Amino acid sequence: MMTPQKINEAVARKLGLWISDGPHSKIGPTFTKDIPDYCTSIAAAWEIAEKIKNTTLFEILWHDGQWECQIASSEVTTVNATADTAPMAICLAYLKI
C-alpha cells in the first residue's frame, strides 16, 4: 500500500503540478508548489473534483461505515474506492482513472 505522502505526490503528478527532467531523472520530479495534503484535507481533495467535474460523474458518499468515492466517464469504466476518510477515498478513486 502506498503511504499518504506517495499518494499526495501521485495526485499532484496527475493534476499536472510537477516538472520532470524525463523518466530517467535522478533528481525526480520538481513540484511547482508545495504538495497539498490531498489525503487528509477535504479542501485539497476537492481540487480533484473541480478538475474532473466537466468530464465525469463524481460521487462521494458514506456507506457501511466508510466513505466511498465513485468516478465514471465515457472514457473510463466506473472506478470506486473506499476509505476511512472522504479525502482518502477521493484520492484513491482518482488514481484509478
CA-to-CA distance for 6 and 73, rounded, in angstroms?
Answer: 25
State the angle between helix axes of 4-14 and 86-94 in degrees (0 to 180), rounded to the nearest 10: 50
Cell numbers found for residue 11: 495526485
* pTM (two decimals): 0.84
1-13, pLDDT tens digit by residue? 799 999 998 998 8
20-79, pLDDT tens digit by residue? 655 554 555 666 667 899 999 999 999 999 988 877 788 999 999 999 999 987 776 888
Q: Where are the alpha helices (DSSP H) in the chain?
A: 4-14, 42-52, 86-94
Per-residue confidence (pLDDT) for residue 74, from 0 to 100:
73
CATH architecture type of domain 4-94: 2-Layer Sandwich (3.30)
What's the CA angle centered on 22, arms 19 and 27, to 5 degrees?
A: 70
13-29, pLDDT tens digit by residue? 898 887 665 555 455 56
